[in-house]
Amino acid sequence: MRVLFVVWPVQAHFYPQIPLAWALQGAGHEVCVASHPDLADTITAAGLSAVPLGKDTGIPALATIGEYVTGEDQRAALADRLSIAPAERAYPWDMYSSYYVPEIRIFHPEGATPQDVNPGADDLVRFAQGWQPDLVLWEGVWLAAAVAARSCGAAHARSLWAPDYLGWGRARHLAAGLADPLAELVGPVAERYGVPVDPELLLGQWSIDPTPTEVPRLTDVRTVPVRRVPSTGATALPGWLHPKPERPRVALTLGASMRNYMINKPLISAMLDMMDGLDIEVVATFNEAQLEGQRVPDNVRTIDYIPLTQLLPTCSAIVHHGAGGTMSAATAHRVPQLIEMDGLEAHLYAPYVTGRGAGLTIDHQKDSTSEMRKQLLRLVEEPSFQVGADALHADWLALPAPADIVPTLERLTAQFRHRS
């Protein structure tokens, strides 16, 4: 069968799709990935065929994302309309309102009409009608992919890379008696191509979900669970990496979003200060913008980029911001985790990691440097955390691998595909 992936155009969204795309190719299926032209080189570097959308017709540049970010006053007003109390305005509200609302508006503009040109959607529909995929696997923020699937009779499902924040936000709107936000945004494109708007169009015929079984779900949609296999790009192995370090090696990362959109200088300073003077070797994946004006301790090696899949096998612990991708990479490599609670997803994943005895938490806004150092040293020195990391790894292995779900996707595609 032919399978079309449609992904929002940043590496952190694309990388989680690579293992499943390769599993489908390995099973003999044709696969291609549609996204913004800026992601085409990353897609082809992963050995997958890229479909650049809107290349010649003015699809918004990723550099314009700041124009779509929801301001604090707007977020507060929306929270009031959704009856989200101030005490609830953390996870998952922060993820929904800070990331997903602006992301979906970039390619589904508010106030659009069916007559308006939508380069991403129009190119996507044209490609789908020409290539005739059997299955479209789409990221929830690119709703036009479901329209493209319907327009050519393909089965379609959301391929989630994180919990179902859009489904959660939609449910809060409906519970508050407000209009369906997803239906309003995709409505003009759907009308343009004669596709009816219904819950299946908005949420997929099913959803592929990499969330660990023990982590609370945000919605109750039909899912196909899958193991989140870490895929973080590749680079030439640096010469210093594989000689066994003389001291315990600790990875320090704050994720791709922190690098690109939310450089938190006080947080970075706190993390570097925590490492100062400890008898450990730290590898911090910080770029030039993050390091500007920072004092880097002697025991910290900074590197702009190294895939976690290369770094973590050499580490005794990792310090990170609590996002699902980093948590999963650490889990896959059996590395104990110290989670900074300032991260937007930390309140979801930290209880799971600490509950299995695989890690500890810190909060740079509340904890002293001395307290944070004690937590890190416990993680490195106490054997119980390695036992917990092994238990977390066993949970991970219990989920089906991407190759394991290919027969399920074949069966569901045959069930839901509608050819005229």
- pLDDT value of position 234: 83
Domain assignment of residue 348, yes or no = yes
- pLDDT value of position 110: 85
Regarding whether 218 and 187 lie in a shared domain, the answer is yes
Regarding whether 407 and 391 lie in a shared domain, the answer is no
Question: Which amino acid is it at 358?
Answer: A
Indicate if the alpha-carbon torsion angle 233, 230, 8, 144 is positive or negative.
Answer: positive
Closest CA to 304 of 291, 321, 322: 291
Q: State which residues form the domain around 288.
A: 239-398
Backbone angles phi, psi at 57, to 5 degrees: -130, 20
Domain assignment of residue 328, yes or no = yes
Regarding whether 88 and 13 lie in a shared domain, the answer is yes
Q: Please write down the long-range contacts of 40-45, taking CB distance under 8 Å and 24 or more positions apart.
A: 42/11, 42/14, 43/14
Domain assignment of residue 391, yes or no = yes
Regarding whether 167 and 99 lie in a shared domain, the answer is yes
Q: Which single residue is written with the structure tokens 């990221």?
A: 139
Residue 275, token pair as written in the block: 């490492």
CATH of the domain at 322: 3.40.50.2000
Domain assignment of residue 118, yes or no = yes
Regarding whether 337 and 269 lie in a shared domain, the answer is yes
How far does the chain reach from its first CA to its final CA, in angstroms? 17
Regarding whether 99 and 63 lie in a shared domain, the answer is yes
Q: Are 393 and 334 in contact (CB under 8 A)?
A: yes
* Reported pTM: 0.93
Query: Over its length of 420 residues, how does the chain's per-residue pLDDT go in tens digits?
Result: 999 999 988 888 899 999 999 999 999 999 999 998 989 999 999 999 999 998 766 676 665 555 556 678 888 889 999 999 888 888 899 889 988 888 888 888 888 899 988 888 999 999 999 999 999 999 999 999 999 999 999 999 999 988 999 999 999 999 999 999 999 999 999 999 999 999 999 999 999 999 999 999 999 999 999 999 998 888 889 999 988 899 999 999 998 766 665 678 899 999 999 999 999 999 999 999 899 999 999 999 999 989 999 999 999 999 999 999 999 999 999 999 999 998 889 999 999 999 999 999 999 999 999 999 999 999 999 999 999 999 999 999 999 999 999 999 999 999 999 865
The Cα–Cα gap between 306 and 26 comes to 27
To which H or E segment does residue 81 belong?
helix 72-81
Ordered alpha helix ranges (H), 153-222: 165-175, 181-192, 199-203
> Which distant-in-sequence residues (6+ apart) come within 8 Å of 296 by Cβ?
272, 284, 302
- Report the number of distinct structural domains present in the chain: 2
Residue 216, token pair as written in the block: 């609370």
Domain assignment of residue 113, yes or no = yes
Regarding whether 214 and 270 lie in a shared domain, the answer is no
Domain assignment of residue 35, yes or no = yes
Regarding whether 261 and 142 lie in a shared domain, the answer is no
Backbone angles phi, psi at 224, to 5 degrees: -115, 105
Domain assignment of residue 272, yes or no = yes
Omega prior to 102 cis, within 30 of 0: no
Apex CA 120: angle with CA 119 and CA 123, to 5°? 75
Domain assignment of residue 234, yes or no = no
Regarding whether 308 and 406 lie in a shared domain, the answer is no
Q: Are 161 and 207 in contact (CB under 8 A)?
A: no
Q: Are 35 and 12 in contact (CB under 8 A)?
A: no
The Cα–Cα gap between 184 and 273 comes to 47
Regarding whether 289 and 216 lie in a shared domain, the answer is no
Regarding whether 311 and 184 lie in a shared domain, the answer is no
Regarding whether 268 and 142 lie in a shared domain, the answer is no
Apex CA 194: angle with CA 131 and CA 114, to 5°? 105
Q: Estimate to the nearest angstrom the gap between the alpha carbon of 329 and the chain centroid.
A: 12
The Cα–Cα gap between 303 and 306 comes to 7
